[in-house]
């Protein structure tokens, strides 16, 4: 019987110390038995190495014993003894009764939050102890967490299976662990660190809480990409999961390792919360505590999110005497202030007092509300303000929370008088308007963060009896965005779930004011509906402020001061002063764009309300017409054949406004507006440009505008397919007939890009000559195509001369600079001039990002990756390729996606990850079948042949590589033919299984010499591939 299949029977003795009782189970490295330690009369778990004892496996087994021996912690399984018997290595460990966390998940899908609240801190404390002892686990997952039953009903949590643990000083970076729970840095080959264990712990807890892993796919390449770059699901939508536990789990699953808490920090985050998962219990405890405090702060539901805001306000009130929380109605100012006051109440000997001033209108009203809150009995003399001031001074340190102060702003001097009278007083105010008092510290309260807004809605939905499903996540996200993440609006939206589904609500929230009219019980009438809140704000405005706000409702996504003056102004009051006043009253927001220009905006709910008011006064059509005329004229003035960076930035910020103007304009003006956006839409969102042109092209009568629009659509479609080619040829012919040589040349330039994609060098040369003849002014653009033409034809010296001419004469033309740098990088890659290739690629990528040209960015990222591949920097290359792949998919570039998946497949192949390689290359072949032209198809088939060879299927490999070679020779593609030949040469290594080491060495060196002399950019790939095949057959020095 082989050692690998040996099973120890009951009664078998190990070293005369342990007697086998029964087999408990088998793992990756060993079989676990219940054994009796006779001398101490106790049962132990005996783990026996059951596979043939290779040096690596024995080392791994010994590492587990050493790691466990270093650790003594209640959350880590104890090891008692170790040894070797009859060729079998063994470990004697603590015997545990119970089940693994993995078993518990499989049994009940989701763990009970109360149970998880006990398990989580125990795991964090155990891992923290391991890290303190210099031990990394490296394979944390649910099956390596044991929930042990102890005396009575009490359970303990134990971390088991340290078989792939590493000790301090172990620099091994080989991949270990289980992929689903491995962090992104390990997949990027950066080595295991304590932070990697924290990621695995977070994913394990996520799995237990949600009943599913955060990253799940049956495709290995797709799983790699999800872990490295995919969206991280947010567990905080699970209403039954305490927010502190959900926040702790999400803190672990952060891609930047340095941003994760240490295991010790995580344990401290979890330890104080242990056993406190009941919200009801927390609220009862608060009520009891308030009996001991001098305060009337109401006990309310736990605050969802806002942790940063709470910290900011608490910090401000500690250092400032007057803090004002300013923001639009419904943004949660009151709830935030209550949370701060509750937390700070114990710091004030004179008490913390909540004062609701909603119904107050005079200074005496203010005094009466504060006196009532503090339990003061006012008398006739002196004035109420003075009586309250004296009481505040006599009580020592007090905190006053003055809520809803906006209608009392004219009487803010009351606060000033109290602060002067009571030096230890602190005042926290909520208001829609700034009080403008000396020493006032203003904090602007924005709507909630997206994730917190989604959590709030989910919690309220569950309270309304809704059973949340995974597919509801998209609708929930849409709902909270529709109401600008305003807490009041979210509460009102959730109330609608009594009568409709989450998806129905999401589909109907295009007009939030109309939909969210249900009155909430337990609120003031002013806050009973969203409209009531906005009504109160509107009624506080002057007539001039109302007019400007209503007119600015025609803007979409924000506006500039110049646009506001042109559209909202009427020769009366200064528009800037009015906008500033509206900002001070929380009706308008002011920010800056990427170029530092001031931008105004308003919340969507306020915009809807203001638009209603504009229609009510009968100005809607006139102001929209004024907006359309201004925005299209502005866009045409701002754009040009090659606008500078600042102009492009302004165009990008105004895309929503220009498109709104297009929608309100007649077809000819609408087409002009769309064409003005081509420099920022063509490369960034070509689908939008094509769709918008299609809407109005049929109704346009201006032939020149129609022709320009057709050219824009053809350019946005890349011109690489037969249909676009025919369209561009027709445009060039029509432009020539109309005497428009510049437009004809632009069509020829777009055709040239298609010829380059198809490697149709004869047509490319002819079209370049024709474009130069009819429009000599286009030479700066054409010269980069000339360089690419020479490059494709193998004339590297001519290509280099052309691109140097282009770089020398471009000046500030951003688009042309981008084309030139891309061509220069491609030439440098082919020359294997790594320094220049890296420099030009970096410059080109930076330019593309600044220009917003995401279509160009795809090829730039791919080409930059080729340089990294040639340098052997595969991790950096894969980062660039994954980034390019995401961009290609987002912009619909199947050609770019095909090239990048092909390159990812080749990199995976030379790394020895053949399943991933086959997946990527198979995807490339499928994509190529959907494209009219894809020169790389033959190379992909050749690499699939190489994989077949590495798998030992030599006949399949020979057939695939032979077909690929015939294909590239038929189309005269010398460059691809050389790559295929180099891959084919390696078949000799497969066939020559009986060759001597020296012969194998000679073949490899021959291939490397061929590669070096050919100056091919994929030299590293082919060289490494050759070595891998040789090494897999024979020892190779």
pLDDT above 50 for 3: no
DSSP letter at 698? G
Phi, psi angles (nearest 5°) of residue 1013? -70, -30
Three-state SS for 844-866 is HHHHHHHHCCHHHHHHHHHHHHH
pLDDT above 50 for 280: no
> Quick one: pLDDT at residue 275?
42
Q: pLDDT by residue (tens digit) across 314-345?
A: 888 888 999 999 988 888 888 899 988 888 88
Is the separation of the CB atoms in 941 and 963 below 8 Å?
Answer: yes
pTM higher than 0.75, yes or no?
A: no
pLDDT above 70 for 467: yes
pLDDT above 80 for 505: yes
Share of the chain above pLDDT 90, in %: 10
pLDDT above 80 for 385: yes
- List, as one string, the DSSP characters of 142-164: GGGEEEEE-STT-EEEEE---TT
What is the C-alpha separation between 990 and 953, in angstroms, rounded?
A: 9
Domain 541-618 has CATH 1.10.10.10: yes
Lowest mean pLDDT among 460-469, 483-492, 770-779: 770-779
User: Residue 208 — pLDDT band, cuts 50, 70, 90?
Assistant: very high
For residue 787, give every residue at least 6 positions away whose Cβ sits within 8 Å of its Cβ, in sequence order, or none.
Answer: 799, 800, 802, 803, 806, 823, 824, 827
pLDDT above 80 for 810: no
Three-state SS for 879-904 is HHHHHHHHHHHHCCCHHHHHHHHHHH
Element (H, E) at 32: strand 30-37
pLDDT above 80 for 891: no
From the candidate CATH numbers 3.20.20.140, 3.40.50.300, 3.10.580.10, 2.60.120.10, the one assigned to the domain spanning 282-444: 3.40.50.300
Which carries the bigger pLDDT value, residue 760 or residue 96?
96
- The CATH number that domain 1-95 falls under is 3.30.200.20
Three-state SS for 389-421 is HHHHHHCCCEEEEEECCHHHHHHCHHHHHHHHH
What b-and-e string marks burial along 850-863, b requiring 16 or more CB atoms within 10 Å of the CB? ebbbbbbbbbbbbb
What is the C-alpha separation between 135 and 68, in angstroms, rounded?
A: 9
Domain 99-277 has CATH 1.10.510.10: yes
Which carries the bigger pLDDT value, residue 543 or residue 170?
543
Lowest mean pLDDT among 252-256, 266-270, 563-567: 266-270
pLDDT above 90 for 990: no
> Quick one: pLDDT at residue 20?
92
> Quick one: pLDDT at residue 727?
75
For 255, the token pair is 């891609």
Closest alpha carbon to 445 in 604, 533, 327, 330: 327
pLDDT above 70 for 595: no
What is the C-alpha separation between 503 and 198, in angstroms, rounded?
A: 36
HSE, CB side, 13 Å, CA atoms: give it for residue 173. Answer: 7
Lowest mean pLDDT among 413-427, 449-463, 719-733: 719-733
Strands 30-37 and 79-85: unpaired
Map tokens 């880590």 to a residue: 76
User: Residue 34 — pLDDT band, cuts 50, 70, 90?
Assistant: very high
**Other C-beta atoms lying within 10 Å of the C-beta of residue 377:** 7
- SS3 state of residue 429: strand
User: Residue 994 — pLDDT band, cuts 50, 70, 90?
Assistant: very low
What is the C-alpha separation between 400 and 109, in angstroms, rounded?
A: 48
DSSP letter at 640? -
Which carries the bigger pLDDT value, residue 413 or residue 682?
413
Strands 440-444 and 322-326: parallel
Phi, psi angles (nearest 5°) of residue 89? -80, 140
Map tokens 């297009």 to a residue: 662
What is the C-alpha separation between 358 and 869, in angstroms, rounded?
A: 67
For 876, the token pair is 């950096």
Asked whether the bond before 135 is cis by omega within 30 degrees of 0, the reply is: no
For residue 234, give every residue at least 6 positions away whose Cβ sits within 8 Å of its Cβ, in sequence order, or none.
Answer: 250, 451, 454, 455
Average pLDDT value for residue range 501-522: 69
Largest CA distance in the chain: 113
Which carries the bigger pLDDT value, residue 57 or residue 609?
609
What is the C-alpha separation between 501 and 503, in angstroms, rounded?
A: 5
Lowest mean pLDDT among 338-342, 555-559, 795-799: 795-799
> Quick one: pLDDT at residue 550?
93
> Quick one: pLDDT at residue 585?
86
What is the C-alpha separation between 416 and 440, in angstroms, rounded?
A: 10
Map tokens 């050609």 to a residue: 895
> Quick one: pLDDT at residue 66?
62
pLDDT above 50 for 506: yes
- List, as one string, the DSSP characters of 272-300: GGTT---HHHHHHHHHHHHHTSSB-PPP-
Compute and round to an integer the Cα radius of gyration of the chain. 35
DSSP letter at 590? E
Where does residue 551 fall: left (phi above 0), alpha (psi -120 to 50 degrees), or beta otherwise?
alpha
User: Residue 177 — pLDDT band, cuts 50, 70, 90?
Assistant: very low
What is the C-alpha separation between 855 and 817, in angstroms, rounded?
A: 16
Phi, psi angles (nearest 5°) of residue 7? -115, 130
Which carries the bigger pLDDT value, residue 326 or residue 284?
326
What is the C-alpha separation between 360 and 405, in angstroms, rounded?
A: 9
Strands 166-167 and 322-326: unpaired
Closest alpha carbon to 404 in 372, 377, 439, 430: 430
What is the C-alpha separation between 273 and 600, in angstroms, rounded?
A: 43
Lowest mean pLDDT among 501-505, 522-526, 565-569: 522-526
Q: pLDDT by residue (tens digit) across 933-967?
A: 555 666 666 667 767 766 667 677 677 767 666 66
C-alpha distances out from residue 343 to 289, 311, 399, 596, Å: 12, 10, 12, 38
> Quick one: pLDDT at residue 722?
55
Element (H, E) at 983: helix 974-985
Map tokens 């279509």 to a residue: 855
Closest alpha carbon to 358 in 323, 407, 325: 407
What is the C-alpha separation between 390 and 384, in angstroms, rounded?
A: 10
What is the C-alpha separation between 904 and 224, in angstroms, rounded?
A: 12
> Quick one: pLDDT at residue 1030?
38
> Quick one: pLDDT at residue 217?
78
Map tokens 């502005």 to a residue: 634
pLDDT above 50 for 1037: no
Average pLDDT value for residue range 802-825: 68
HSE, CB side, 13 Å, CA atoms: give it for residue 814. Answer: 23
Mean of all residue pLDDT scores within the chain = 76
- SS3 state of residue 92: strand
**Other C-beta atoms lying within 10 Å of the C-beta of residue 989:** 25
Q: Which of 104-113, 218-227, 525-534 has the highest mean pLDDT?
A: 104-113
- SS3 state of residue 352: strand
Tally the residues of the chain.
1037
Q: pLDDT by residue (tens digit) across 646-682?
A: 677 788 888 899 999 999 889 888 888 888 887 777 6
What is the C-alpha separation between 240 and 210, in angstroms, rounded?
A: 11
User: Residue 260 — pLDDT band, cuts 50, 70, 90?
Assistant: confident
What is the C-alpha separation between 616 and 604, in angstroms, rounded?
A: 18
> Quick one: pLDDT at residue 175?
38
> Quick one: pLDDT at residue 627?
93
Phi, psi angles (nearest 5°) of residue 2? -70, 160
> Quick one: pLDDT at residue 308?
79
What b-and-e string marks burial along 4-25, b requiring 16 or more CB atoms within 10 Å of the CB? eeeebeeeeebeebbbbbebee
Closest alpha carbon to 460 in 488, 436, 441: 488
Q: pLDDT by residue (tens digit) across 829-870?
A: 777 778 888 888 888 888 888 777 777 888 889 888 888 887
Average pLDDT value for residue range 364-377: 87
Which carries the bigger pLDDT value, residue 917 or residue 212?
212
> Quick one: pLDDT at residue 605?
84
What is the C-alpha separation between 956 and 946, in angstroms, rounded?
A: 9
pLDDT above 60 for 906: yes
User: Residue 1002 — pLDDT band, cuts 50, 70, 90?
Assistant: low
Average pLDDT value for residue range 423-446: 90
């Amino acid at each position: 019987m082989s050692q690998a299949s040996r099973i120890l029977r009951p009664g078998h003795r190990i070293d005369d110390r342990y007697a086998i009782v029964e087999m408990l189970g088998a793992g990756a490295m060993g079989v676990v038995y219940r054994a009796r330690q006779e001398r101490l009369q106790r049962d132990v778990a005996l783990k026996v190495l059951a596979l043939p004892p290779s040096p690596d496996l024995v080392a791994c087994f010994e590492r587990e014993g050493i790691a466990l021996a270093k650790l003594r912690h209640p959350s880590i399984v104890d090891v008692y003894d170790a040894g070797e018997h009859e060729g079998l290595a063994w470990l004697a460990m603590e015997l545990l009764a119970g089940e693994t966390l993995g078993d518990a998940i499989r049994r009940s899908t989701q763990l009970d939050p109360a149970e998880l609240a006990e398990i989580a801190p125990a795991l964090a404390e155990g891992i923290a102890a391991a890290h303190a002892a210099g031990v990394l686990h490296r394979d944390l997952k649910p099956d390596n967490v044991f929930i042990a039953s102890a005396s009575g009903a009490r359970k303990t949590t134990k971390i088991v299976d340290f078989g792939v643990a590493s000790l301090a000083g172990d620099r091994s970076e080989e991949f270990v662990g289980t992929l689903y729970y491995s962090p992104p840095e390990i997949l990027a080959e950066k080595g295991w660190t304590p932070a990697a264990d924290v990621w695995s712990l977070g994913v394990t807890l996520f799995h237990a809480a949600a009943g599913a892993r955060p990253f799940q796919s049956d495709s290995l390449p797709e799983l790699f990409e999800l872990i490295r770059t995919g969206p991280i699901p947010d567990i905080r939508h699970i209403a039954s999961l305490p927010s502190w536990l959900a926040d702790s789990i999400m803190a672990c699953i952060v891609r930047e390792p340095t941003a994760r808490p240490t295991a010790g920090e995580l344990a401290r985050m979890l330890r104080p919360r242990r056993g406190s998962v009941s919200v009801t219990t927390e609220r009862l405890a608060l009520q009891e505590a308030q009996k001991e405090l001098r305060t009337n702060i109401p006990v309310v539901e736990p605050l969802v999110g806002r942790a940063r805001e709470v910290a900011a306000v608490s910090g401000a009130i500690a250092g400032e005497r007057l803090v004002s929380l300013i923001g639009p109605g419904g943004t949660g100012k009151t709830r935030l202030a209550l949370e701060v006051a509750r937390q700070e109440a114990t710091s004030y000997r004179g008490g913390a007092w909540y004062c609701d001033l909603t119904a107050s209108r005079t200074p005496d009203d203010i005094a009466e509300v504060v006196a009532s809150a503090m339990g003061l009995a006012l008398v006739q003399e002196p004035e109420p303000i003075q009586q309250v001031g004296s009481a505040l001074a006599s009580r020592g340190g007090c905190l006053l929370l003055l809520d809803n102060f906006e209608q009392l702003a004219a009487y803010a001097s009351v606060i000033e008088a109290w602060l002067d009278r009571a030096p230890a007083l602190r005042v926290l105010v909520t208001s829609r308007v700034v009080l403008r008092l000396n020493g006032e510290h203003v904090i602007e309260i924005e709507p909630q963060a997206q994730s917190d807004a989604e959590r709030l809605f989910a919690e309220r939905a569950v309270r309304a009896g809704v059973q949340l499903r995974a597919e509801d996540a998209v609708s929930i996200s849409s709902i909270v965005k529709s109401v600008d993440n305003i807490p009041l609006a979210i509460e009102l939206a959730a109330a609608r779930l009594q009568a409709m589904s989450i998806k129905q609500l999401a589909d109907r929230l295009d007009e939030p004011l109309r939909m969210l009219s249900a009155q909430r019980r337990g609120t003031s009438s002013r806050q009973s509906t969203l409209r009531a809140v906005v009504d109160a704000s509107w009624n506080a405005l002057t007539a001039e402020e109302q007019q400007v706000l209503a007119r600015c409702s025609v803007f979409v996504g924000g506006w500039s001061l110049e646009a506001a003056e042109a559209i909202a102004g009427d020769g009366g009051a200064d528009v800037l002063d009015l906008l500033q006043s509206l900002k001070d009253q929380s009706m308008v927001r002011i920010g800056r764009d990427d170029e530092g220009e001031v931008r105004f905006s308003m919340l969507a709910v306020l915009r809807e309300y203001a638009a209603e008011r504009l229609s009510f006064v009968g100005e809607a059509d006139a102001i929209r017409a004024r907006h359309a005329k201004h925005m299209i004229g502005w866009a045409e003035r701002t754009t040009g054949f090659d606008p500078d960076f600042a102009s492009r930035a302004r165009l990008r910020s105004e895309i929503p406004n220009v498109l709104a103007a297009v929608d309100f304009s007649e077809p000819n003006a609408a087409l002009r507006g769309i064409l003005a956006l081509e420099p920022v839409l063509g490369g960034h969102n070509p689908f939008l440009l094509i769709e918008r042109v299609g809407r109005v092209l049929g109704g346009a009568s201006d032939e020149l505008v129609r022709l320009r629009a057709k050219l824009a659509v053809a350019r946005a479609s890349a011109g690489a397919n037969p249909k676009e080619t025919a369209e561009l040829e027709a445009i060039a012919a029509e432009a020539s007939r109309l005497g428009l040589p510049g437009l004809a040349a632009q069509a020829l330039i777009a055709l040239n890009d298609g010829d380059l994609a198809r490697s149709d060098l004869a047509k490319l040369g002819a079209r370049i000559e024709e474009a130069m003849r009819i429009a000599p002014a286009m030479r700066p653009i054409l010269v980069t195509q000339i360089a690419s033409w020479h490059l494709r034809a193998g004339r590297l010296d001519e290509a280099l001369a052309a691109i140097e001419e282009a770089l020398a004469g471009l000046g500030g033309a951003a688009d042309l600079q981008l084309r030139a740098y891309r061509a220069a990088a491609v030439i440098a890659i082919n020359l294997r001039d790594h320094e220049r290739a890296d420099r030009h690629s970096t410059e080109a990528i930076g330019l593309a990002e600044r220009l917003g040209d995401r279509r160009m960015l795809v090829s730039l990222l791919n080409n930059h990756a080729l340089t990294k591949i040639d340098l052997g920097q595969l991790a950096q290359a894969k980062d660039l390729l994954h980034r390019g792949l995401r961009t290609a998919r987002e912009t619909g570039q199947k050609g770019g996606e095909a090239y990048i998946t092909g390159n990812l497949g080749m990199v995976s192949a030379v790394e020895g990850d053949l399943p991933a390689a086959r997946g990527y290359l198979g995807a490339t072949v499928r994509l190529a079948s959907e494209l009219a032209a894809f020169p790389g198809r033959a190379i992909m088939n050749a690499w699939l042949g190489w994989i077949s060879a590495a798998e030992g299927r030599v006949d399949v490999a020979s057939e695939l590589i032979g077909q690929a070679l015939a294909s590239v020779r038929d189309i005269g593609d010398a460059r691809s033919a050389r790559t295929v030949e180099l891959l084919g040469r390696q078949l000799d290594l497969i066939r020559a299984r009986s060759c001597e080491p020296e012969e194998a060495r000679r073949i490899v060196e021959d291939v490397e010499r061929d590669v070096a002399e050919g100056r091919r950019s994929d030299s590293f790939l082919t060289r490494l591939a050759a070595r891998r095949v040789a090494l897999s057959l024979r020892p190779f020095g």
